[in-house]
Structure 1
Amino acid sequence: MTDTRLNKQNIFALGFMTFAFFLGAGNIIFPPLAGQLAGSEVTLAMLGFLVTAVGLPLLTLIAVAIAGGDMESVTRDLPRAVAVTITVAIFIVIGPAFALPRTSLVAYETGMKPLFGEDAVPLWAYTIGFFLVASALALHRGSLIDYIGKILTPILIVLLAILGISVVVEPLAPLGAMTDGTAISAASEAYRSAPFSKGFIEGYNTMDTFGALMFGVLIVDVLRKKGVNDRGFQASYLIQAGIIAAIGLALVYMSLFYLGATSGTVAAGADNGGEILAKYVQGMFGQPGQWILSAVVTLACLTTAIGLTGACSDYFANLLGMQYRTLVVVFAAVSALVANVGLSYLIAVSIPVLIALYPVAVALVVLNLVRRYLNHPKQSFRWVIGIALVLSLLDAIKAAKVPGTTTLVETASHLPLFGYGLAWLIPVTAAVIVALAWPDRSSKD
């Protein structure tokens, strides 16, 4: 069997495709709001956000590449039932439960409604049309590099560059300024007291660490369909694509944070980042700007929906023994149905779930990165993941304000960083260090 090698053009196209998969709904709507609320503390908040929204996804892609390019390899040291449960939970969250429906909702709220109004196209009709297009493109995975990496993403990058350069060169207001000329309002208290950790938690909302677990597997599959069968080259191309995507995402986030921090005079009191973005662009470019924004948002959400649909369908096809094409249709239909609950409700429901699952995904990634240095990988994976899960559940219970848990939350409040939603961070870090120092008294398990 011949083994194809990618040239530089195809490697960049692969990187652009990876960037487009990541740049979706959450990546566009959360940074502007965080930037506005952070105000003069925007730099520290942005750095925290970049850790979880850029650094962790890049490390996740590297971990997937090192592990072997599939979720079975990533979770191989966990008991089968635990591995499947964690993976299924992540794929459902990043798929039809939250992230996939959110792509169409953001495209509708920020890309379509400001131009035509909700009376022109109702939400249910828009979501059906959106997922019909996404599923049709997801059915042709072998061509993803060609029509996303070489066509859609370059258009998206040009549009984003126009917006980003304009924001930096000629912002609409000074950092943190409000319509009355005062500093940013008291609503940003969390950012004034702990801007970095607040930005760190906000980065969860992008779901990109979850996405990286899925996209890493999908990209390896795309490479196979391009004829790249050598695992070493697959890992190399995946890492190169991840670096290109990370650079692109970092530039987009920095410009959107700055946009939010300088939006107080045109979008004070906005409910979400999509509204801030729409008002800012309207103020800077007028109606032509709204067309640019609509094109950016729609393309970004569509490319992410294609990637998520393909990755979810591929995983469950292997798990359940079902046809990939059938699952593409099923996930698209379910996502269109869930999207009709509305954007605000979907975001509110997803936050506690993300807080519960994100530390588990982070621990899984870190353990895969250091696995070669572990003398007892099976035991290490099991108790580090267990610690991450228990402590993240405490953070999630607090965030969800579960009835009857007041005493539990008050007791847990003595844990370091619990007040910041990071009770898991120090114990999990310590557990990984102990796992690395655990001596080898027998053969490796």
Structure 2
Amino acid sequence: MKKNMKKDILVMGFAMFAIFFGSGNLIFPPIIGLVSGEQVGWAIVGLALTGILFPMMALASVGNVGYNLQDMMKHINSWWHYLYMGLGLLVVIFGTIPRCGGVAFESGMQGIFGELPFMARIIFLAIFFAISYYFAMNRSTVIDKVGNYLTPALLITLLAIVVLAIVNPIDTLHSSSISTAKESFLNGFFTGYNTGDVGTGIICAGMFITAFREKGYCNKQEYNKMMLGIILVGFTLLFVVYAGLAYLGAQGVNYYSLDVNATFLLTDLVKNLAGYEGSFILAVAVILACLTTAIGMIATAGQWVEAWFKGKISYRQASLMITIAIFMISCLGVSNVLKISGPIFMILFPMSVVLTFLGLGKKWVPNDGAWKGAVWVAFIMSLFDALNLAVMTGLVNIDISGLMNIINQIPLAKQGFAWLIPTILGYVIGAVIYKFKKKESIAYEVWDN
């Protein structure tokens, strides 16, 4: 097979950028910039670490252990990947992809044409998901299609906004009344962390690794070069766009209150920057950002369902069924189904972070007991956060205030990291027990030489 590594790295790096850059990624950088003011540079650094680097580390961690999620999860239990994929599918079907369709219509289509009737929503969603399925239905070409066609269009719209913010700024940068350099960095750091894109990295890893292998990059050395290359491309593109949008937000310190709605902030900033033409460009960017994320998630979910049923349901059949189900859910509205996906996401996210560091640091993980202890404890601790969110959103009606008061006594709990210290203890205890019982660990999957 004839290979052109430089071209493949560029195309797949473009695809990585597009799949990671969903609709929410457009909205939060400007609000970070607004809060930071002239300290926006520190906020961008914090955001780059957790909002860009961590998710890409998550993607790389799967390939560092083996070929897919199953190779990673077998160090916990033989069935753990089914649990992770099942939870992931629920988040994708009841959260990520319906939200993509909803935001594409509400902030994209209506951003161009104004308020539209319900039937227009149905027609738009039918077209949106038909296009999503078209790009996702062929597993071997989905990355190339996104990287070659959709990403350039998305980048042009985003870079147009970024360039205008630089050459024709709304205002000079001013200091924010509440943000120091340290606070700006931490705000960017925690905002990037809370996007949950680390989970996206774990979820989408198999799609990229499959694309590597289908292009003929089958040994570890080639994998490392490819992964490093697409991470550099994806990181650079995301950094430029995030930094530009945050810089645009920082120009609004004297014009907007800090409690302004994040979506309104972005749309109004772009309108002030470039008038109706700017609003049109932003609406197109929103639609494309939602579309590329939906394609990536449909492709990943299709692979999972095919693997789950051991090929009895083909990838194309699985992708089509998922697309139809998501279209129907989106037509009913996403507000209620998001109440379901939120708690499930809270279960997946800490586990995804732990898996990322275990996968990347496999050389320093003493045995499978460390995997089991760390991931099991992260999973159990995340159940409390999921239950708390379910209560807060009205999905469950029980009083857990006493339980949460106990959980909040754990160090870093109030910062959203109640799982961290227990997980480290679980890692150590699991490793010691495994070593004491002299249990053998499962060998890591070896790539071809």
| Secondary structure, counterpart of 2:74 in structure 1 | coil
Q: Is residue 109 of structure 2 the alignment partner of residue 119 of structure 1?
A: no
| Preserved CA contact (<8 Å) 1:123 1:340 | yes
| Preserved CA contact (<8 Å) 1:395 1:422 | no
- Matched residue, 2:347: 356
- Matched residue, 2:314: 323
Distance in 2 of aligned mates of 1:434 and 1:174? 54
* Identity across the alignment (%): 26
Choose 95-104 or 140-149, whichever is displaced more: 140-149
- Matched residue, 1:52: 50
Unaligned runs of 5+ in 2: 442-449
Matches within 5 A, 1:269-280: 272-280=261-269
- Matched residue, 1:294: 283
Cα distance 1:230–1:6, how it changes in 2: closer, same or farther (>3 A)? Answer: farther
- Matched residue, 2:205: 216
| Secondary structure, counterpart of 2:399 in structure 1 | coil
Amino acid at match of 1:112: M
Q: Deviations over 1:84-115 (max 9, x none)?
A: 1123212331x212111122222222221011
Cα distance 1:166–1:273, how it changes in 2: closer, same or farther (>3 A)? Answer: same
Distance in 2 of aligned mates of 1:273 and 1:139? 34
- Matched residue, 1:180: none
| Secondary structure, counterpart of 1:415 in structure 2 | coil
Q: Is residue 308 of structure 2 the alignment partner of residue 308 of structure 1?
A: no
Structure 1 residue 176: Cα displacement:
7.0
| Secondary structure, counterpart of 1:122 in structure 2 | helix
1:252 to 230, 241, 244: 241
Amino acid at match of 2:327: A
Distance in 2 of aligned mates of 1:421 and 1:205? 9
- Matched residue, 1:87: 85
| Preserved CA contact (<8 Å) 2:46 2:187 | yes
- Matched residue, 1:98: 95
Structure 1 residue 406: Cα displacement:
0.6
Per the normalisation by structure 2, the TM-score is 0.85
Distance in 2 of aligned mates of 1:348 and 1:166? 38
Distance in 2 of aligned mates of 1:238 and 1:63? 10
Distance in 2 of aligned mates of 1:5 and 1:221? 15
| Secondary structure, counterpart of 2:141 in structure 1 | helix
Distance in 2 of aligned mates of 1:273 and 1:4? 47
Distance in 2 of aligned mates of 1:428 and 1:171? 46
Matches within 5 A, 1:321-400: 321-340=312-331, 342=333, 350-377=341-368, 379-400=369-390
- Matched residue, 2:447: none
Per the normalisation by structure 1, the TM-score is 0.85
- Matched residue, 1:415: 410
Structure 1 residue 437: Cα displacement:
8.4
| Preserved CA contact (<8 Å) 2:199 2:353 | no
Q: Deviations over 1:26-85 (max 9, x none)?
A: 211233334435556655554443333212211112111212231111111121233311
Distance in 2 of aligned mates of 1:262 and 1:240? 33
Structure 1 residue 192: Cα displacement:
11
Distance in 2 of aligned mates of 1:204 and 1:145? 25
Structure 1 residue 392: Cα displacement:
2.4
Q: Deviations over 1:214-242 (max 9, x none)?
A: 32211122233334444542343133212
- Matched residue, 1:67: 65
Distance in 2 of aligned mates of 1:83 and 1:19? 26
Distance in 2 of aligned mates of 1:220 and 1:205? 26
Distance in 2 of aligned mates of 1:246 and 1:54? 6
Distance in 1 of aligned mates of 2:249 and 2:330? 26
Distance in 1 of aligned mates of 2:372 and 2:155? 42
Amino acid at match of 1:425: L
Matches within 5 A, 1:164-243: 164-173=162-171, 199-230=188-219, 232-243=221-232
| Preserved CA contact (<8 Å) 2:47 2:188 | yes
Distance in 2 of aligned mates of 1:174 and 1:267? 14
| Secondary structure, counterpart of 2:272 in structure 1 | helix
Distance in 1 of aligned mates of 2:194 and 2:217? 33
Structure 1 residue 284: Cα displacement:
0.7
| Preserved CA contact (<8 Å) 2:94 2:340 | no
Q: Deviations over 1:220-273 (max 9, x none)?
A: 222333344445423431332123212221222222223333335666588653
Structure 1 residue 418: Cα displacement:
1.1
Distance in 1 of aligned mates of 2:156 and 2:276? 18
Distance in 1 of aligned mates of 2:7 and 2:181? 45
Structure 1 residue 293: Cα displacement:
1.2
- Matched residue, 1:285: 274
Distance in 2 of aligned mates of 1:132 and 1:431? 45
Structure 1 residue 13: Cα displacement:
1.2
Distance in 2 of aligned mates of 1:438 and 1:243? 40
Unaligned runs of 5+ in 1: 178-182
State the Cα RMSD in Å.
3.2
| Preserved CA contact (<8 Å) 1:28 1:273 | no
- Matched residue, 1:18: 16
Cα distance 1:420–1:44, how it changes in 2: closer, same or farther (>3 A)? Answer: farther
